[in-house]
Amino acid sequence: MDPVVPRYGLGSLADVVPSLLAGLDVPGMDNVLGLTTTSRICILLVDGLGWHLLREHGSYATFLTSLTAKRDPITAGFPSTTVTSIAALAAGMPAGEHGLVGYSFAAGPDEGQLLDALLWQRHGVAERVDLRPVLVPEDIQPRRTAFEHAADAGVAVRLVVPGEQEGSGLSRAVLRGGQFRGVRALGDLVSRTLEALHERDRLICYTYHADLDTIGHIYGPGSDPWRRQLTFVDQLAAAIAENLPQGGTLLVTADHGMVTTDAPNRIDFDTDTTLQDGVLMLGGEARVRHVYTVAGAEDDVRARWTDVLKDRAWILSRDEAIAAGWFGPRVAEHVRPRIGNLIVAASAPIAIVRSKVEPLQSQLVGHHGSLTADEQLVPLLMTANASEPT
């Protein structure tokens, strides 16, 4: 099986907002996705709603399934994980440019330090170490976001997201340009989204829902709890669509899909000395790992990991992964050191866990991050109340 390399510039999450902004006459934006929209747009991002999962369990999501006719999926980007995908969507560029190259990665001057980019704290230590004062989010991701370009052109941007995300490291890094409308549950998520869509004539509202991903991690994608949660997500999307204002569009997408991994297919780095030898740090997550090697040990580490994983993973060097376009057509010079000396991306339903450093994550059933179709392909669904507001 070959990896599903993201279709950057043709059909990826990084292309969604620029394509929408082109329709709103924002300078410098290109509608590569050929999207037809109206002047008030809601982007509903459902964390963990993979294309294959939606198609397989469509009877639990009749509204969303009705929008899949004649719609092709797009690719999430690499790694196919929440941090990288939200950055790609909001910044309008792949990881090679926005620089958030995974759930955890090497950042800053301190050797041996990994940034947990979801919580913006030091990864792999028991105490919570807030890294915002040291690894300033605006410095880690200095590029102007697509949302900032929208605001510059007079397009209002609203962020209907969990209230605790306001001021977080990730929000400061990639959601710049938008005004927060913090929410707590499904009810106020719908209400505040609809309120936002009535605020201005030219507006993008980014609405985020996380619970499907949480359920998938704990019980597995496609499990009975997951299917029941999918029904709630379907009702959420339908509630927004049914109440769109004149000139309103709903676009539904996701940050990644998900695969099930069972206990026999979990490879534990923390107990396997063969995998540990020559490794300085291990970043990423269970389905895709940044392997930072001791100087001069890269070839030996690659040989050992290949011997253990065999054909269950794609193992590329940093230069090979960049040349293959995994992180996008361009990788900025300051981003290159954040990528592991080796990139290990699972091709089979395995998980490379860390039972001591990541005890909770190591017990999860559902995982994502790699380049399989189940993880990469996400929906791009649209419906509109096309009449313009008066």
Indicate which CATH number applies to the domain containing 24.
3.40.720.10
Q: What is the pLDDT of residue 288?
A: 98
Q: What is the pLDDT of residue 108?
A: 77
Q: What is the pLDDT of residue 128?
A: 87
Same domain, 276 and 252: no
Please check whether residue 390 lies inside any domain of the structure: no
- Number of compact structural domains in the chain: 2
Contact predicate 266/351, CB 8 Å? yes
Same domain, 114 and 250: yes
Whichever domain contains 312, its CATH number is 3.30.1360.180
Same domain, 228 and 291: no
Contact predicate 43/384, CB 8 Å? no
Please check whether residue 356 lies inside any domain of the structure: yes
Q: What is the pLDDT of residue 114?
A: 96
Q: What DSSP character marks residue 199? A: T
Please check whether residue 1 lies inside any domain of the structure: no
Same domain, 79 and 216: yes
Could you report the per-residue pLDDT of 219-237, keeping only the tens digit for each?
A: 999 999 999 999 999 999 9
Regarding beta strands 366-367 and 279-282, do their DSSP bridges make them parallel or antiparallel, or are they unpaired? unpaired
Same domain, 198 and 84: yes
Q: What is the pLDDT of residue 390?
A: 44
Please check whether residue 210 lies inside any domain of the structure: yes
User: Domain containing 312: what range?
Assistant: 263-367
Please check whether residue 357 lies inside any domain of the structure: yes
Please check whether residue 8 lies inside any domain of the structure: no
Q: What is the pLDDT of residue 388?
A: 57
Please check whether residue 18 lies inside any domain of the structure: yes
Please check whether residue 2 lies inside any domain of the structure: no
Query: What does the radius of gyration of the chain's CA atoms come to, in whole angstroms?
Result: 20
Burial tier of 56 (Cβ tally within 10 Å: 0-12, 13-18, 19+): middle
Q: What is the pLDDT of residue 187?
A: 97
- Stretches in the chain below the pLDDT threshold 50: 389-390
Residue length of the chain? 390
Same domain, 55 and 169: yes
Could you report the per-residue pLDDT of 146-187, keeping only the tens digit for each?
A: 999 999 999 999 999 999 999 999 999 999 999 999 999 999
Same domain, 174 and 136: yes
